[in-house]
Structure 1
Amino acid sequence: MINSAILPIPRTVLLLRDESYALPMRRRSTWGICILSLFVLLMPQVTGDENLLQLSVSITEPPHETYYTSEDVVMMDVDLLNHGPTVSLEHNPSCTLYLKIYYNSDLVRDDSNICRNQIQTKEISSGNMESLGSISWDLTDEDSNLVPSGTYQIQVWHGGTSLFEDVSVFLQTQKEIPDQLELWMNTTTKEENIVAFQPVVVSLSLHNPTDEVMILTDAACRISEFQNSQHDLLGSCFPQSLVLQPFEVRPILQKTYSFESGENTLEFTLGDDLISVFETYEIQNPESLGDKPPLQLELTNPIVDTTAMKLNGEVSLINDDIENVTVEFSDTCILESWLVGPLGNVVYDSISSKSCTQTMIQYSLEADGGVQPFPLSEVPLHMPNNCGIPSGEYTLILSMNALGLWESFSIELDQESGSPCNENIVIDYSIENNDNLANLVYTASTSHDNTFFWPQSCKIQLLDLTIPDEEIEYRTPCFDEQIIMYMPAGQTYSLQNFALEPSEGETLWNLNVIDNFPVEEANLVFYWPVPEITENLVEELSGSSTPELGSIQGSWQVLGTGEMSCWILSSVDDDSYAFNRAMIDNWEPIQNTEGTYNVEFTQKTTACAEFDVQSVIITEILDENHEVIVEDKPTQEITNVEVETTQETPDPMIILVSAATTGGLLGLVGFAVMTNESWRIPLTSGGLWFMGLLGRTKETTDGRYQRGRLMGYLTANPGCHFRALMHVLDMSNGQITHHLKILEDECRIWRFKDGRLVRYYPYTSDLHPGTDEANLPLPSLSPDKNSLQGKILSILELDSELNLHPTQSELAKRLEKSQQLISHHLRTLQKYGLIEKEKSGLKNRYKLTKEAVFLLDSTKF
């Protein structure tokens, strides 16, 4: 852009005949001319037409081809071109060139203040180009702070005129992202062996594996694609928002590729190599199809109907050749289609849902655009099991295999299609007393590794039914937008909650999650406010015989309650417990089965509502056998027969658990005991005893011994994580959980959450929860050589003896694990300085550090 010049001011001389008037007039004119001349001299000038002058700015190529990073400097060479006659140009020698930097039209840096008031004149010949030198920008603002990522406009100004020129640069300057953030890459193909020139759908997604909200900071971050030797800059790293919910999986890219024969590499990085994922493909040679005419497929008039959950349309076969073409098909399966979801999952494949009849079919297409239409068979917008699918970008592949033709089309679903089927998700409800408000918490959990989604329409519902015929409804969205989650087994997540002030006295709430996957509603009855507990009551409750928390030995009996059955676990201590649910795959109680179980105490289910007994969740089976009663003699003889605990898989269903913990479990028990005498020493018609929620765990010598072992090991190995402790001390999950909790309650140890691991430290003056993470001692090498990290270290140690350094992909194949899982553990091992990676061509290879070699040599690993 060139601005017009300031024109020279003409001077006028007056000749006057009246001498008496001429003298004073001459003096005034002289002074005026002097002042005006001084003003003109202070202004930059070009003698000639400035419109014919032009600044030319040549920017050096970015080191990363398409963008600059925080380590780079933008270098520019500047020339002045004269397209007109010879001109005399004034310039400022103190700042021949200076910069103005803009971001979204906002000025972030202005260097014009460096120019001093100096003027020099130089002559520029007609048609001449004169170099004005070079100028650079170090990617900082006026306060010398590094600017954030984004596209910036650089204005290069000439210091003596109003000439300037614009250039645009893209920066990726963010240096850090959350350590736990994972980048997933899924490859979807028609066949297991990828054939050259066939469609390969690659899907990228972000995953937050933690149970906490993850905040991202760089809205301008872009995805870089490296396909073999080609580099392209793609879309945003963080579409939608900069907040990742716990366990959220967010699709960020889906692209269809067609590779040539041989080895092909594909790598994606976010920003300035903040995180990357890499894949190598061995592409097979295709079968020869002969010369193919220039035909193409086109999807016309696609109709996406999420209400009817289907996609319809028409497909056109178009002839772009200059000659007429006749095509032949040997069966009725002329057109095939398959639909790929945002995470790379196959939603639909036509070849699996229809049969082909052998026949000969011919079509003639005229030259230069002849069209033969084909109806697109209805594509269902739901999973094969009729479960709904989330909104987002899908890829539809249409192919005519007989002609070797295929095309990919992007299909956008602006809302979910159908209802999700998250049959493994359990919704628990609990109440907390928060400043005299009842804080209702909805918690989702799963006993299986599970990928599912929460529709945008999902709502949490509460109905206050305390006053008859005066139903009060409260609703709140589950999330602000649709969320896809991957939740590992045993994890929990708290949804939005309500904070309400209930009416005094008995309160009845109906709880539900609506417009979502099927969830059984629950009625929650509690008393508000919770009565205070007394010492006498505590002593009275403590008198009941309660087994050690988390472990019960007993046998199973079933009691009928109308159309439902209530399973009762009768313990060897003559206490009874109602079965709520099991956190074990494919297991359920069997009549007369004896066993020892780790349990978690909870509230009763509807099936056992009429029995005054404590309810339990079975978390682990320590021992189990089946009692067979022999009745051919007057006296019963019981024979123990070992049976497998695996049962036939029941029909999928959602299990709902209701739990009221207002003011803590102690307050709830207090109210229950004081308002219902039968809860003190209950004896039901079935002879079932109720075990109170509050009781004293009997201390044993073995318990103190096990905790002594724990303390000794943690003192010698601070920072050891849960699984390693369980392995090295040979304890069960229930045992070690129980003893760790006691030690934590006694403030003898404390925990530190490190990604997916929970590490434990002895409580000392040097090690306490306030210790900075950087100062925590490096955890000892995991003693569990069978852990995945242990196997990785073993492979690297073995390969190092052969001077080999495997890639992430090679490790994943050898360990038969996904690259995403291997990537997570590699980053963890890097974080603790046990491995390092080095670039070898386009691949990252991994090897042990000196510290790891020392640890492996000095540890029984």
Structure 2
Amino acid sequence: MLIILLSLILIIPLASNSASADSDDLELVITFEEPNFDSSWYNENETLLMDIKIHNSASSTQSVEYNPSCPVEIEMLDGNGVLFSSLNEHRACQQQWRAIDIPAGQTRNLDSFEWNWQNSTGETINGGFVTINFNFESGSVVHSQTLEFQQSPVTIDGLMLEVNTASAPGENREEFFTGEKIYSHLSLRNVDNVPLLFDIDEGCRVTLQASSLDSSLPTIMTDLSCGGEGSIGVGESLSLGWLDWDFTQAGEQLLPGPWTLDIGITGVTDLSGSVFATFVGDNEMSGTTPLEMEINILGDVESDGIITDAETIQITTDLINIQNIPVDIQFNNSCLVSIHLISEQGSIVSDTNIAEECVDEYSEMKISPSTIHQLDQRLWQMSDQFGCELDDGDYMMVVAIPEFSLFREFQFTYDGSNSGLECRASMQDASLVDFNIIDLTINNADTEQESVTFQLRLDNPIDIDVYWPQDCQLEFTLQKVGASQPHQVWLEQCGSGSGVMGTIPAGHGISYDPFTVDFAGLNAGTWRLTAHTTGTPSFTTQWAHTWNPPTESVQEDETEDDTTDEVDELPDVVEQVPTLSWMAEGNWEYVTTETGGCWILIDLDGVEHAYTSTSIESWKPRTNYRGAYWVEESMESTPACVVWQSHIVVDDVLGEAFVEPISEEKSTEVDAGAPIISIPAATPAIVTVIASTGLLALLAGALVQVEWIRLPATKYGLFLLGMVRKNKEKGGEYQRGRIVAYIELHRGIHFRALLAALAMSNGQLTHHLSVLEGDEAIWRRKDGRKVRYYPASIDSSTSNDDLPVPVLTPDPNSLQGRIMQILDIHENEILNLSQKELSDKLETSQQLVSYHLKSLENWGLVEKERVALRYRYRLTDRALILLNSTELPSLRDEG
């Protein structure tokens, strides 16, 4: 009994002191060991050491009682707040108690704990944010800490990080101003020759480190995810999304100068990319404002971030005054809002800074407190700066108020009709640049180690600007001839950085280091390698090689014996097989093989015929020429062309013309330098006897059906075919009089419009124009893709700006003429036609209709008005007068 009483006397004071401790005056002090790899996150190869202390912030001593085997409860939660482990799963807690006194302002050690980043089942946790909660004495004192963790990276062969970076907005700008951002689209690309399977930690993140010439900023982990599992096909890529950087650190603007961004990912080793940019700081034209900017996007019908070619979005830009007082704001430019659109390839495909005519213009406005002022509203079609449809893919739209360095972004995916490539191709010209294969050699021929080594050379006779949106400048595709899919697609010449604009001076082309392709392990057959530059503009060349793996000597002997037997069994008399001849129509291309160069005629069906020889003197195939040729099958071949199955000998040129490599539309005018098509009086002999009348009909049919042959045909060839009409009552002088009169009334008219107006044949008009030019009654001048004609009453030395503007009358058979006819038919309807309705009626793309409508607007023949969210079009009075004019009937040939 005495012992129990003494025990109670000792326990009561301790319980009294513990109870008197005020938890508000106690706090847990948790110290974590810093990461070992000079980063802000922890790696699974390092354990997390936690030092746990308790601090008394009161003015008097505090007494506490705790379990020394487990002083605090520890819980681990993932980024979603889900509990996945606790201290009890890593340590056995005993039923023990200890009491200590903590003097005022002092700290006492409670415990230390090492954690190996494993969950309750002993597995390494996924990467990402980890929250650790500490609980002392059933919640009397708590502490919480959030850390970043990443699993050890894995190695994936054949995987590449592709970084495509946009240049600064505006025309020919390379420097960034304050407030502007660098935008890069990131993707994982398969550069192997087989589909690539990947399994990357779900917590994988894209990392970024910025450095200047003087300093390097700490590596940061972005919010861009790179984890997951799946597969990537050969030559395909997996989009990771957009990364942006604004030349600031912790909200503070960085110093002007050149900066390098090193981009990587935490989940895979040896994947990185670099971006180079120059920061110039504040723009002298920019100011500050307390107003906030907001944009609203309408038009995403499904609200899924996917825009289709049937949708037109509306962009509204607002300024919001959150102040309690009015705010005055002044602008010094007519373009208050600018918008530019960046593709996932890193190209700025549309920019209002370039498209709109911005002038210095002062304006001011006052925005009342707590109000929203609509600064700009516009419709935005899914087209680029050329009026062509966007390519499918991811896009970043940047809406800015540049005078106040305010920016907002809108990300979307475009899913259209894929007409943009063809449209843009018609507006580019890279004919002056040569991209060739040089120094092609075969190594270890006829062995298992056979390979091909080659170099590439880009030559340019004029200055050319090339924008490299990604870190690699070359893309190679290796494919077996006849296969539907490439064997391997990979990138070369990497390390120059993405987002770089470069100028190649005239005569200072680019030479690319030797490359080697090994054929060991490949199937026998003909293989073709296509080299493609990734920049804008881009260029392509290719070579072909036949790979015949060596076989065993025994097999060779057997083959020889079998061949001998077969030869002995052949009859003495072999039937003579007639040579096949036909008319081939197509264009010429030059392909480099391991033994030299080979000219290829690609016919209208896409079949390739290797050129062997010709019986025509002073003629040879030429790049960018198309024509109709009488050819015969050849059993022989040049060494460079043996890989092709079809070989031809050109016996006659029925017609040939130079074709612009890329042009907007098929031109029907005759240029001064256009080649003359000469149709011979006799055709080459062939095995099969054909009646002369049938051959002439064949040639005439070819000329009638092939427009690019028919248009430049001269009076001589047409005369031989009997296609030039002769009118005894109205001879050449009469027709030339009509031509001069019409040109006098329509000064500057182009060839096709003149052809349609006078109802002559192409050959007639060509002949008469040639005579009139020789007599100096008229003269002509090149205007882009057109040739315009002027009377002698106008001095031929007159500058382009001083020449009269012709009264434009589009050919009724052209797309512009058909647009005008349809608009004329619907002129009296209540609601005029939109672009979409016009494209449906014309059965062509909306982008092509948009392009021609803009031309008609510029000529003053069409005007538009906005009704609801669409523009609708109608003819102008000038166009109606032209369509209904009957003032010149006597100029037409009545016969």
* TM-score normalized with structure 2 length: 0.42
What TM-score comes out, normalization by structure 1 length?
Answer: 0.43
